[in-house]
Structure 1
Amino acid sequence: MLLLHGWRRLILAFAAGGLASFSQAPFDFFAVCLISFPVLVWLLDGAAADSGSGRMQRFAAPFVTGWWFGFGYFAGGLWWVGNAMLTDFERYAWALPIAVLVLPAILAVFYGVAAALARPFWADGLGRIAALAAAFGIAEWLRAMLFTGFPWNAVGYAVMPTPMLMQSAGIVGMTGMNALAVFVFALPALLAGNKHVRTGMALAAFLVVLHAGFGFVRLSLPAEGDATLQTRIVQPSIDQSEKWNAAVRDRIFRTFLDLSAEQDTQEAIRPALILWPETSVPFILQDRPDALSAIGELVRDDQVLLAGAVRIEGENAADPEARFYNSVVAINSAGVMYDAVDKVHLVPLGEFVPLEAVLSRLGITKLVELPGGFSRGGSRHAIDVSDGVSAVPYICYEVIFPGIAVHESRDAALIVNVTNDGWFGYSPGPYQHLRQAQLRAVEAGRPLVRAANNGLSAVIDSRGRLVDALALDAVGTLDVAVPLAPADSLRTSFAGTTGWAIVLAFTLLAALLQWRQKSLRE
């Protein structure tokens, strides 16, 4: 592979990245990364050898190689985003290439940056593996932060396909998991040489045993308390093409009411919390007092409804000064919205258009048709849902942001995630979304309840285990006594700091081995 040049090197990098995408949910073939990342290392060996003496030339070849690897990875893992454009193909056909090609191309820049960042520390043996691991840890962090962030399918998820293998995230965070995952995945590249082979294999074995062993021990510990919250999750599987159809909106609303109605009168199983998915109410609630009255008739005195809904600030939807929010609203038995939390992380082109004045002239509009799009929420807070129990809500893809719930859920007993994955059809998207929600529960040490329009609705305990779930496209309700016990003390609120310490350690190791190699040559 050192001898590959030009398009052959780039095609192989693309193929290696595409293969690595099968490490993500729902496939979970993490072993493919033990092939993909060594191939990337060997291709970067060749790119480093081809680098010129100029400063830009030294970084260009590694960047391009890393970019093609990333393009294959994101094209293979995110092709399903294009399904959102098929719900109204005539109107949004223009966006299909953006979803399946432009988005992966943009995200691939971060993997190109990772390869370029590793270049100054590139040397024979273990040092280049450590450099690449540190660089990927930094690049994945940047992907979660820059330009509103889109940390979907971070490479670290590949080593966390089951709850037992998720527990390390509570200690080292996603930054640490991303770096450690790349380090272990890339170590087989040492087998093609004669330096640090035994050391590298021993390190790989040690990290894998430590990772799995910690998870086993943590899941073996008893829960801290036995408090529960009886919860009913509603999954209606409303067809996306009907979601905002004015002719059927009353029927959709009635579907939610019927599914939410009491199905058993026994006090022991009456839900204290009823949860509806994202934008479940197909109209502006403030404009429909009859709808609020109907909800008031549904909700008992000892119950609360949390519903995804469009919230308006202004006189009505026709008000040109009105502001719209994608929100979670809390409604009591009096039919009163007593609290609301607005979405903070909006989806570019889905809920708002960056540089809208310019892009609208090119015919580029948002997928959610509201005047001016959604406005960004100012802050997030927990909502009281029962006596002594509060829940912090996250809307749609907000739950993919690493560490987001660690501090925001500190005073809450429960994390709530409402979403509408109906945009993506029967594809890997909903499974990947659920997997990332599981990790947020592990990071925060709090249980998570998830209502999705067409699935996958689920209840997740504080250690990332699925308590119960509804299948994709199923119609029905999920009645579960949600265990409110927090995770045990084998976790830390400083996981982010620990993760950066791992990145720093890999950087120092790479620098030390490079310095030693130069000293021996001299």
Structure 2
Amino acid sequence: MKPTRPALHPLLPLVLVSLVSGTLLPLALAPFGFWPAAWLSLIGYFWVTERAGTGKQAFWLGWCYGAGLYGLGISWVYGSMRTVATPIPLSVLMTAAFCLAIALLPGLQAWLYHRYFKRARGSRWLAAPLLWLVFEWVRSWLFTGMPWLYAGYALTDTPAGQLAAVVSVYGLSTVIAFSAAGLAMGLPGQANQAQRRTPALSAGAILLAMGSGWLLPADRWSDISDSASVVAIQSNVSQAQKWQSSQVRPTLEFYSEQARRHDTADLMIWPEAALTVRPERIPAYLEDLDRVGNERQQGIITGIVTREDDRYFNALLGFGTADGEYRKQHLVPFGEYLPFEQQLRGLINFFNIPMSTLTPAPEPQSPMPWMYRGEERHLAPVICYEAAYPGLTMALARDSDLMIMVSNDAWFGDSLAPHQHLQITRMRAIENSRAIVRSTQNGISALIDANGEVQARSQQFEVAAVSGSVNLRQGMTPYQRWGGPYWALLPLLGLIALGWASRRHRG
């Protein structure tokens, strides 16, 4: 008599589908760019959570999805820790803990669906995608926010991506979420004829979004008022060396040389914290920079840490024909400030990194003025992580002629993060119908047009000066005119109405 093989646990196939579905969403984003994977990912998530037998099963299946999503999508946290020589075992442990903790959000999302909406009329094609959108919003502010890996970014390089000028990246996530929920209803297990028609309607909606984006490029919402020659400098100083005292003089000399070499550009941008000493310690250097810029009618903007009283700010300063100071409004937790500082400071090297004692701007910031051809223009400044916040960048860009974005992606090494960050920046260009000049420490620096297309870019890990001509634009996109922080009210109100209708129906 042949021995019988032990039967697989009935949940094991669902667990595997959850994990694989989670890893598919990062594959739809940069640098992979296989955008259909966004639909496959959400279809898998909706299908699996629908098949959970209990709220507990739904939670753990959602958590497995999140483990796949974040385990691949933000694996770059490991590189950040290794940059400051955190031991490999501890780096692996902390990265895994961080990813698995954030994965609790898709788990909670799945539990809420099972607990409150699964039996509601229209739950599969309405409640499930509405919950997805609400949780993308929750991720933008919970524990100061982690607005990364949004489904809508998958459409950046498709015609539908141009619709971000109308509905923002959240609207693009809406297209994917609702159409994925409809397509999921075509998978095995759907019963009635009406549900079997839903996939065809969803496919039609996808085609409609693609065609609408092709007909409505982002640059149609703004007008070209002028053009300017620009240059974005990339220093390629390693993060391990950047803040050492021995590196101060070579850094100052490097940027002095760049200023001499690129004397014909109308605007020159240096990266985030390009100068690693505070302004009051190098007054002669900055005075000379201002004088040179004015003599040749050039605006020069550099990242630097500034001080007021006992507070330190990650800032941009303008020289020459550019003016003013912009202070970073949204800091990176553990990177620029330390939650639970008394408990964590000194515990391991990672919690003693430079720039981890900064203060966010105490008031909303304004665009930086720039005199160009006898007229005052305005530059919308964005520092690094701020690019991930559509509302913050929109508030600055709608009254500006050009966006400038500086970053220090050296923290992330040769990982997915610099590519994801560039894609996020491109989406901000589309939403605001503005060109962007992007300067980073070791890549990827780029010039991006109002349709989010990269006109010129650097390679990573090399000294570079990305130069070219960009258009100055004026006008407001529909998103700038009517968008804002209250967009989440619509899916919230939809869920409330659905829940109320479900309770009334059961009653």
TM-score scaled by structure 1? 0.85
* Structure-1 separation of matches of 2:83 and 2:219: 46
Kindly tell me: are residues 220 and 152 of structure 1, through their superposed partners in 2, closer, same or farther at Cα, counting changes over 3 Å? Answer: closer
Partner in structure 2 of residue 37 of structure 1: 42
Q: Residues of 1 paired with 2:99 and 2:271: CA distance? A: 28
- The aligned residue for residue 31 of structure 2 is 26
Counterpart among 408, 429, 443 of residue 441 in structure 1: 429
Contact 1:169 1:495 in 2 (8 A): no
- Once residues 348 and 492 of structure 2 are traced to their aligned partners in structure 1, the CA distance between those partners, rounded to angstroms, is 46
In the TM superposition, 1:42-81 aligns within 5 A as 42-47=47-52, 50-51=53-54, 59-81=55-77
- Residue 171 of structure 1: which of 160, 166, 175 is its match? 166
Cα distance in 1 for partners of 2:219, 2:470 equals 18
AA of the residue aligned to 1:212: M
Say if 1:86 and 1:501 are closer, same or farther in 2 by CA, change over 3 A.
Answer: closer
**Greater displacement, 185-194 / 251-260:** 185-194
Say yes or no: does 1:374 pair with 2:378: no
Deviates more, 1:124-133 or 1:101-110: 124-133
Q: Per the alignment, in what secondary structure is the counterpart of residue 245 of structure 2?
A: coil
**Does the C-alpha gap of structure 1 residues 33 and 427 become closer, same or farther in structure 2, counting only changes over 3 Å?**
same
What is residue 88 of structure 1 aligned with on the other side? 84
Match of 1:476 among 450, 455, 464: 464
Q: Distance in 2 between matches of 1:429 and 1:364?
A: 22
Structure 1 residue aligned with 2:274: 280
Is 2:379 aligned against 1:391? yes
Structure 2 partner of 1:102: 97
Percent identity, aligned pairs only, is 25
Which amino acid is 2:244 matched to? N
Report the Cα distance in structure 2 between the residues aligned to 1:96 and 1:502, rounded to whole angstroms. 39
Go from structure 1 to structure 2 and tell me whether the alpha carbon gap of 1:496 and 1:61 turns closer, same or farther (over 3 Å shift).
farther
Specify the code of the residue in structure 2 equivalent to 1:256. Answer: Y
Higher mean C-alpha deviation, range 459-468 or range 357-366 = 357-366
Structure-2 residue corresponding to 1:420: 408
Aligned counterpart for 1:135 among listed residues 122, 128, 131: 131
Task: Tell which deviates more after alignment, 492-501 or 148-157.
Answer: 492-501
| Paired residues of 1:171 and 1:498 also in contact (CA < 8 A) | no
CA drift of 1:298 comes to 4.2
On the 8 A contact 1:176/1:500 being kept in 2, the answer is: no
**Separation (CA, whole Å) in 1 of partners of 2:219 and 2:117:** 42
In structure 1, distance between residues paired with 2:105 and 2:409? 26
Give yes or no for contact 2:167–2:478 (8 Å, CA) kept in 1: no
8 Å Cα contact 2:168-2:479 kept in structure 1: no
Alpha-carbon distance between aligned partners in 2 of 1:260 and 1:156, rounded to the nearest angstrom: 39
Residue 6 of structure 1: how far off its partner (Å): 4.8
Alignment of 1:244-263 (within 5 A): 244-263=243-262
Counterparts of 2:49 and 2:28, CA distance in 1: 21
- Structure 1 stretches lacking a partner, 5+ long: 52-58, 265-269, 315-321
Q: Secondary structure of 1:388's partner? A: strand
Q: Once the 2 structures are TM-superposed, how far is the Cα of residue 143 of structure 1 from its aligned partner? A: 0.5
Please list the CA deviations of residues 387-406 of structure 1 after superposition, one character each: whole Å capped at 9, or x if unmatched: 32111211111110122222
* Superposed displacement of residue 36, structure 1: 3.0
Instruction: Give SS of 1:384's match.
Output: strand
Deviation of 1:434 (Å): 0.9
1:73 shift after superposition: 0.3
Question: What is the match of residue 243 of structure 1?
Answer: 242
Q: TM-score, normalised by structure 2?
A: 0.87
Q: Secondary structure at the match of 1:464?
A: coil
Distance 1:93 1:131 in 2: 41
Per-residue deviation at 1:101?
Answer: 1.3
State how far apart, in whole Å, the 2-side matches of 1:362 and 1:419 are: 27
Looking at structure 1, the residues matched to 400 and 265 of structure 2 have their Cα atoms a distance apart, in angstroms, of 19
User: In structure 2, do the counterparts of structure 1 residues 411 and 138 end up closer, same or farther at CA, with 3 Å as the change threshold?
Assistant: same
Structure 1 residues 135-184: Cα deviation after superposition (integer angstroms, max 9, x where no partner): 010001010012111101112212x1316332222222333332331222
Residue 332 (structure 1) aligned with residue 327 (structure 2): no
1:509 CA drift (Å): 9.2
Question: Number of matched residues?
Answer: 490
Greater mean alpha carbon deviation, residues 499-508 or residues 399-408: 499-508
* Displacement after TM superposition at 1:409 (Å): 2.3
1:308 is aligned, of 283, 296, 303, to 303
Residue pair 1:63, 1:115 contacting (<8 A) in 2 also: yes
| Distance of aligned partners of 1:244 and 1:93 in 2 relative to their CA distance in 1, 3 Å threshold | farther
Shift, 1:348, TM fit? 0.9
Q: 8 Å contact 1:133–1:506 — kept in the other structure?
A: no
Counterpart CA distance in 2 for 1:206 and 1:499 is 25
What stretches of structure 2 of length at least 5 have no aligned partner? 1-7
Q: Distance in 2 between matches of 1:338 and 1:92?
A: 44
Retained in 2: the 8 A contact 1:391–1:416?
yes
Shift of 1:363: 4.5
2:143 corresponds, among 143, 147, 151, to 147
Q: What secondary structure is seen at the aligned counterpart in 2 of 1:261?
A: helix
Structure 2 CA distance for partners of 1:259 and 1:499, relative to 1, 3 Å: same
- Compute the RMSD of aligned alpha carbons: 3.0
State the AA in 1 paired with 2:126: A
> Paired residue for 2:344, among 359, 362, 365?
359
Write the deviation string for residues 501-522 of structure 1: whole angstroms up to 9, x where unpaired.
7636864896699689x78xx9
- Aligned residues of 2:165 and 2:218 also touching (Cα < 8 A): no
Query: Shift of residue 377 of structure 1?
Result: 1.2
CA separation in 1, counterparts of 2:349 and 2:462? 34
Check the 8 A contact 2:163/2:218 in 1, yes or no: no
